[in-house]
Structure 1
Amino acid sequence: MTAIPVPFSGAPRVNLMPRSEVARRERDQLVRLWVWIVLGAIVVAFLIIAGAFAFKFFADQRLVAEQVRTNALLTEIASLSEVSQAIATESELTDYRTDAMTTDLAWAPVISKISSVLPADTAITGVDLTVGGAPQGDDPTSEQGLVGTVTFDSPTPIDIVPLIRSLRGVEGVFYADGQSVTTNPTTGGRYTYLLTVQFDQTVYSNEYAAEEGGE
């Protein structure tokens, strides 16, 4: 067999470094690596702690700002307490007025309705009418609103039956009837008539009634 020569390039080298020195260098290299790892961990921990402190600082600043804003709002609300109290008092008084004035009415139109059916030569001499109850339903024509008597005199006798019928036909009159007729010689023999009359609740003005959907 023919031997194949082993090729060599360059000058031959021999590692004469002791084994202990190689181990020492490896240990130093490993120590340096761990030192850098520890330093890196310290830097990362420092950055995390610094970030937490910065986050807490800005959060505290926001909290202080919100507290200042809350205190300002509370101060503003406190300054408006008198206004709120005044509004509440006005609302109570409005409700009281609404309840108290549910039976408010104008007397002149009532007297005018009675006078409209009386003969021209008669004169109303007395009115004793009492306001009825507060409205209880939605139909004011079905509830009594004003009741009492009306006195008028005439120089001549009057056929009271057609007069009462006419009075019953007047808008707002709930009921009407004759009660008595007398003559008084001291007044020249004039005839005095006493009528009972009742009006429905359409005679109420409703001027102070509460608006629908409101208090």
Structure 2
Amino acid sequence: MPDHYEVLGIDREADDAAVRQAYRRLARTYHPDVNDSPEARAQFEAVQSAYETLSEPLRRQAYDALTARDHEQRQAEEIRERMRRIREEREAKEAEELRRRAEARRMDHVRPTFDEHEYRALRADVDEMQKLANRGELAAASLLAKRILEIDPRQADAYAVQADFALAQGDVRAAATAYAFAAQFAPDNAVYLRQYEALKIGR
């Protein structure tokens, strides 16, 4: 069924005067006396049909009742489309912010230098963290990861553990952020990048 309001270019709330004004404006363009093209004839017939329906109160009331559901569905689709665009714009901004923050963190932190004792202690903590994570003790592993990052803020594995813990808690945003840092500090680790991309898409 044609949308008579769309044909006349008016809102569904338009009054009788607006209906007449729209009809006269379009008739001056598409009436056969001023435009003899086949396209204009077809358009004028649509305009004439729309005017005949909307200018008569009872016919308009019946038409509105018949098309109300279609109108509501179109409105809902338009709202969903607007929300989709807003979500995509927000996600693009968030991705850019993550990239900017990761780059700033990379530039701000130079990998610390450790003596042999400190290095062995750090490696022991990393090994213990990974063992805890492998056993599914993510809360304990995440606490140890936090301590490791306070010592060496470029430890990609520690970010990955924090990401897994955040994901287990249902915090997808925090997990995506942590995996972004993990991928930043371990650019050769394809797993971290895939995890970040998957979480970014799923948000």
TM range (shorter): under 0.3
TM score, norm. by length of structure 1: 0.23
Structure number with the higher helix fraction is 2
TM score, norm. by length of structure 2: 0.24
Structure number with the higher strand fraction is 1
Which has the greater radius of gyration? 1
| Structure with greater contact order relative to length (CA < 8 Å, sep ≥ 6) | 1
